[in-house]
Amino acid sequence: MNARNAALVPSFQRPLSKVFIRRAANYEQELASLIYESLLEFKLPMKDKTVLLKPNLVGLDPLGVMNTHPAVVAAAREAFFRLGASQVLIGDGPAMDRDTEAVIESVRLREFAGPLARTFVDLNVDDMERVPLKTHASRLKELYLPKTALGVDFLVSMPKLKTHHWAGVTLSLKNMFGIVPGSCYGWPKNVLHWAGIDRAILDINAVARPDFAIVDGIIGMEGNGPIQGTPKACGVLVLGDDPVAVDATCCRVMGLIPQQVKYLARAGTLLGHVEASKIQQLGERIEGVKAPFAVLPEFRQLVA
Amino acid sequence: MGTGNSNLADQRVSDRMGTQTEVQFVKSVCLPLLRSTQNPDGGWGFHPGSESRLEPTCWALQALLQWSWPEIPEAAVHGFQFVREAQLRNGAWPSARAEQVGCWVTALACWVLLAEKNSSNAVAMGLDWLCKDWPQDSTLWRRFLARFSSQRHIFPINNSYRGWGWTPGTSSWVEPTAFALLAFGECPAELLPPTAARRRKLAEAMLRDRMCPGGGWNCGNPLVYGVAGEPLIIPTAWALLALRNQPERRENVLSLEWLEKNVANIQGPGSFALARLCLESYSRKWPDDAPGLRSFHQKNEFLNNIQVAAWSCLALSAKRPFLPVGLPSGKTS
């Protein structure tokens, strides 16, 4: 049974979560080995498994800071193959531009990950399955979600480390908005905004909880993210098998208080751990990599 | 189907002799893909072998009709049946048959069924649903509340203009508004609901209001936090086609200029096909240095997307232009 079929487990019943912070100065360095070595710490049973890497592909990105960098995606793909996965797909459903191929070409994904015709899944136009929601945090009763995202053995959320002008931050949980199919809900997926972004994040992650998260924080985005913000060099990759704990750790790296991020505070009761005392930190210490991110005035309460 | 404006069509084909390679590509790759991927239920999925969906079915039908005009091929007859059977009792269409809620594909379904003489009632019901489907962001109550919102500076748009949303009960966006305008614009007057004229006027105003500052459209956010939104090819093409009856207006001229400037930078075949369709409709010259469909196909095989193949067929239809500017209705003269 994968995480998407599992019952929700209250956080007080969950064991400690592990989050690995790795320094990575730039996208030119050898990232596949770095990610592979990090994954070994988690003892993931990947032999003959089908993996879906879900990067954050927002749209055309002239500065190269809006989307998960293709070097990180390609490196993760290679690392999961080294762990024994039989198939490693890449998939996303960009929210603003329905020309997904234009988006993946503009971010040079093919250049880094090779031919994409049989590797990339456009989640906006995948076959869909009706999924009753478990948390009912929002007023949505059900969502139609892509069969590929629901059916793979192992789902990996791969966001960019960014601020977000509605949600405060966009990390591995918010990144899951991208699995909601535009062919059903449109570009942007406005029904989620009307349902309440914070609440919809919970609903989606409760039925399609990522099995793992790898956050591209080598260069993030601060200020008016997720599209019009400013590049922020941070020099880290953050990895873990609890997306809530990964996001909480990322907030701390960004100099933000995770409990002040509405959806993260609520996710911390049911989907994973937010409290630092429940997270086993591996690799770099947070204080050693902390890089305070600028936020919009509406989110100044997030700043630690 | 109308008889077409054959002189104009012949002239256009003649103007496009330089694009024969592209036409040949469509004939050898895109059309066979459409013809070979129709599902037994009459519909098309987004990919070969995937379940039938309304949107790719509508575009595949438009493409086949365009290329077989004035004949209606057997595949289209079967496809019409799929579309008719997918209509909900309230007149709307859902994006997939399992869904019970109608959405923006209603406009596409109405538009394509105009080509089928037995579907007038279905079309009238669909258009009636569209006229009754008001977006929720611009109700009087919402507009009143917005005056006091601390975030009213974030999206400085005129909420008194109203188009259509992707799904009921949400906000107006550029593409679903353009699709509805195209459906209304193609429809004979006797099928139009009484409120259609008002909805069209409001929707056209909404599209112009949402244009990005330098021309072109994105999904519908021209300014966010005081920063100009970047236009995108696909919403720009659809908005220009929806507003093509007033080609001299400032918004059309600016946006056409933006589109022409950006053709060389297009990176996806869907954007390529719709940009070409739009510029052809406005009788603009297609740049000689623009990339070709074949080169896009060599990169990622269109990600096996049937809808992109259908758009390519529409952009390079050999027999007549799709949605020409300057005729009272796009298809009949």
Q: Hey, what are B84's tokens?
A: 């008719």
Q: Does residue A60 carry a pLDDT above 80?
A: no
Residues whose CB is less than 8 angstroms from the CB of residue B169 and which lie 6 or more positions away in sequence, other chains included: A194, B136
Q: The domain containing residue A59 runs over which residues?
A: 15-302
pTM of the model: 0.93
B320 Cβ contact partners less than 8 Å away, ≥ 6 residues apart: B4, B5, B9, B12, B66, B69
Q: How far apart are CA A260 and CA A168, in angstroms?
A: 9
Cα–Cα distance between B254 and B77 in angstroms, integer? Answer: 40
The alpha carbon of residue A134 is apart from the nearest alpha carbon of chain B, in Å, by 19
Domains of chain B: 6-315 (1.50.10.20)
- Residue A9 placed within a domain: no
Look at residue B9 and tell me whether its pLDDT is greater than 80: no
Helices (H), ranges, chain A: 31-40, 70-82, 100-106, 109-113, 147-151, 182-185, 190-195, 197-207, 243-253, 262-270, 286-289
Q: Are residues B300 and A115, on separate chains, in Cβ contact within 8 Å?
A: yes
pLDDT tens per residue, range A104-116: 999 999 999 999 9
Confidence of residue A6 (pLDDT cuts 50, 70, 90): confident
Query: Which letter does DSSP use for residue B3 in this model?
Result: -
Cα–Cα separations (whole angstroms), residue A12 to A4, A211, A243, A270, B278: 20, 19, 16, 9, 58
For A102, name the nearest residue in chain B, comparing CA atoms only.
Answer: B268
Q: Is A114 helix (H, G, I), strand (E, B) or coil?
A: coil
Per-position b or e across A97-134, b if 16+ CB within 10 A of its CB: bbbbbbbbbbbbbbebbeebeebbbbbbbbbbeebebe
Interchain CB distance below 8 Å, A97 and B151? no
Q: Which residues of B touch A117 (CB under 8 A)?
A: 300-301, 303-304
Query: How far, rounded to the nearest angstrom, does the alpha carbon of residue A293 sit from its chain's CA centroid?
Result: 18
According to DSSP, the β-strands at A279-283 and A230-240 are: unpaired
Nearest to A224 among B103, B219, B227 (CB): B227
Element (H, E) at B148: none
- B187 vs B123: CA distance, rounded Å: 9
Among all residues of chain B, which has the CA nearest to that of A148? B50
* Interchain CB distance below 8 Å, B167 and A104: no
Give the pLDDT confidence of B168-189 residue by residue, as tens digits. 999 999 999 999 999 999 999 9
- What's the ipTM? 0.94
- The CATH number that applies at residue A215 is 3.40.50
Distance, in Å, from the CA atom of A179 to the CA atom of A185, rounded to the nearest integer, reads: 11
d(CA B23, nearest CA chain A) in Å: 22
Task: Report d(CA B37, CA B48) in Å as an integer.
Answer: 5
Q: Which pLDDT belongs to residue B17? A: 46
A114 vs B145: CA distance, rounded Å:
50
The answer to whether residue A96 sits within a structural domain is yes
CB < 8 Å to B271, chain A: 99, 102
Size of interface A-B (CB pairs under 8 A): 128
Residues A73, A77, A82, A83: is their CA dihedral positive or negative?
A: positive
Enumerate residues 6+ apart whose C-beta is below 8 A from B180: B104, B107, B130, B163, B164, B199, B203
Instruction: State whether residue A185 sits within 8 Å of chain B by CB.
Output: yes
Q: Are residues A222 and A295 in contact, defined by beta-carbon separation less than 8 angstroms?
A: yes
B119 pLDDT exceeds 50? Answer: yes
b/e for B131-143, b at 16 or more Cβ within 10 A?
Answer: bebbbebbeeeee
Instruction: Find the residue in A nearest to B172 (Cα).
Output: A190
Candidates B51, B136, B267; nearest CB to A102? B267
Inside any domain, residue A134: yes
B23: left (phi over 0), alpha (psi -120 to 50) or beta: alpha
* Tokens 């940009």, residue located: B275
pLDDT tier, B286 (very low <50, low <70, confident <90, very high otherwise):
confident
User: Which residues of A fall within a CB distance of 8 Å from B236?
Assistant: none
Integer Cα distance of B166 and B177 in angstroms: 9
Q: Does A112 touch chain B (CB under 8 A)?
A: no
pLDDT, tens digit, 9 for 90 and up, residues A172-194: 999 999 999 999 999 999 999 99
Interface contact flag, B303 A187, Cβ < 8 Å = no
Kind of pairing between the strands at A142-146 and A154-158: unpaired
Residue A125 has its nearest CB partner, among B173, B268, B305, at B305
**What are the φ/ψ torsions at residue B232 (nearest 5 degrees)?**
-125, 155
The tens digit of pLDDT for each residue in A114-152 reads: 999 999 999 999 999 999 999 999 999 999 999 999 999
For the residues B59-81, what does the mean pLDDT come to? 95
Is residue A10 in a domain?
Answer: no
Tell if the CB–CB gap between B300 and A117 is shorter than 8 Å.
Answer: yes
Question: DSSP E strands: which ranges in chain B?
Answer: 223-224, 227-228
Q: Contact, A291 vs A255, CB < 8 A? A: yes
First to last CA, chain A: 39
Which has the closest alpha carbon to A17: A255, A208, A249, A216? Answer: A249
Q: How many CB atoms lie within 10 A of CB B285?
A: 10
**Nearest by Cα to B257 from B284, B290, B232, B234:** B284
Contacts of B99 in chain A (CB under 8 A): 144, 184
CB contact under 8 Å between B224 and A224, yes or no, is yes
Record: contact B166-A116, CB cut-off 8 A = no
B173 contact residues in A (CB cutoff 8 A): 186-188, 190
- Residue A156's alpha-carbon distances to A52, A111, B38, in angstroms, are 6, 21, 34
Residue A217 inside a domain? The answer is: yes
CB A205 within 8 A of CB A180: no
A102 and B302 in contact by Cβ < 8 A? no
B74: CB partners within 8 A, 6+ apart: none
pLDDT band at B156 (very low <50, low <70, confident <90, very high): low
| Counted domains in chain A | 1
- Per the domain annotation, does A8 fall within a domain? no
pLDDT tens digits, residue range B240-263?
Answer: 999 999 999 999 999 999 999 999
Does position B27 have pLDDT exceeding 70, yes or no?
A: yes
pLDDT greater than 80 at residue B307: yes
